[in-house]
Amino acid sequence: MLKPSIDAYLALRRAVGFRLKTEELLLHAFARWASERGDTHVRTQTATEWAATARSLWQRERRLRAVAAFARHARAEDPRHEVPPILVFARRHVRPRPHIYSPEELRRLLDAATRLPAIWSLRPQVFTTLFGLLASSGLRVSEALALRFGDVTSDGLVVRKTKFNKSRLVPLHSSAASALDRYLQLRQRTSTVSDYVFISPKGGRLPLPTVSKTFDQLRRRAGLRSGPGKAGPRIHDLRHTFAVRALEACAQGESPVGWRMRALSTYLGHRSVADTCWYLHATPQLMRGVADACERFLEGGAR
């Protein structure tokens, strides 16, 4: 009874661009759990008991959120579904504070990548180019790893149907384009059947766990830390840094901030400007730009 309703719910949401891979696994697991207990509709007690079998508070909350989202949808047609509360386990999702890399920190990170032991072909070049591209383009790491030869054009990178099922063209700065071109000249000499830009030791697509493990090694070698008791800088913080630096570079321009935010939102592949705001954080240069803009606004006689 639950599984057909869950499949219909997933199909509907995927039709508007959501992928829901994790949600599908969770909801199908919940459906099996509920079915074994004779439930044909979502019940708060059953959902809570199922969520409680997860190991961590984060996993328990994730389970309840998935079931609650489905239950809200299903309840619109059948009020017998109960919507479980999502904070039963007293954990609220807190976004980690991003680390905004300084130019010196990025240089140290890339220098560490160039010194990686070449235990497989192109290893130093792969990671130097990959992390340099993330820092200079703001790509999601999944988008960079999915790039193929045909996605690299003279106009920029073609990013195909990633998050929210969107595709876009990402222009590159001339320095980034040159660095990528030098890497591609080496990459194309590698005899592999794969056409992925960033390849693994076996010649296929470079897997994310390998990237994450290597990044942590490089971060430690470069001495990049966030302070006592805090997690170290993340790969995703390269995207945050790009967004902040892009807006900093525009602070003294004449175009309205709204135009720049919309352009940045499109460049990053966000659905709306509101999504882009999560990537923007106060830096001294950005705050000076805001203060100067406010002063010009007031001097213009605005009320």
| Mean pLDDT per 10-residue interval, the chain, length 303 residues | 92 84 95 95 96 89 94 94 88 71 95 95 95 94 95 93 75 95 92 90 92 95 76 88 80 53 71 62 58 61 47
- pLDDT the model gives residue 57: 85
- What pLDDT is attached to residue 268? 76
Q: How far apart are the first and last CA of the chain?
A: 61
Confidence (pLDDT) at 229: 58
Q: Quick one: 103-221 is in which CATH superfamily?
A: Intergrase catalytic core (1.10.443.10)
Residue 259, pLDDT score: 55
Q: Is the alpha carbon torsion for 240, 246, 252, 257 positive or negative?
A: negative
- Give catalytic residue positions: 140, 163, 236, 239, 270, 279
Angstrom distances, CA of residue 204 to CA of 200, 214, 303: 5, 17, 61
How far apart CA 202 and CA 126 sit, in angstroms, is 13
Whether the Cβ atoms of residue 96 and residue 118 lie closer than 8 Å to each other? no
Cα 254 to Cα 203, 249, 258, 300, 302: the distances in Å are: 48, 12, 12, 14, 17
pLDDT score for 84 = 94
Burial class (CB within 10 angstroms; exposed 0-12, middle 13-18, buried 19+) of 158: middle
For the record, the structure tokens of 140 come out as 């999601």
pTM, two decimals, is: 0.66
pLDDT of residue 142: 92
Question: What was the pLDDT predicted at 303?
Answer: 42
Q: How far apart are CA 170 and CA 250, in angstroms?
A: 18
Q: Which residue has the tokens 């999944």?
A: 142
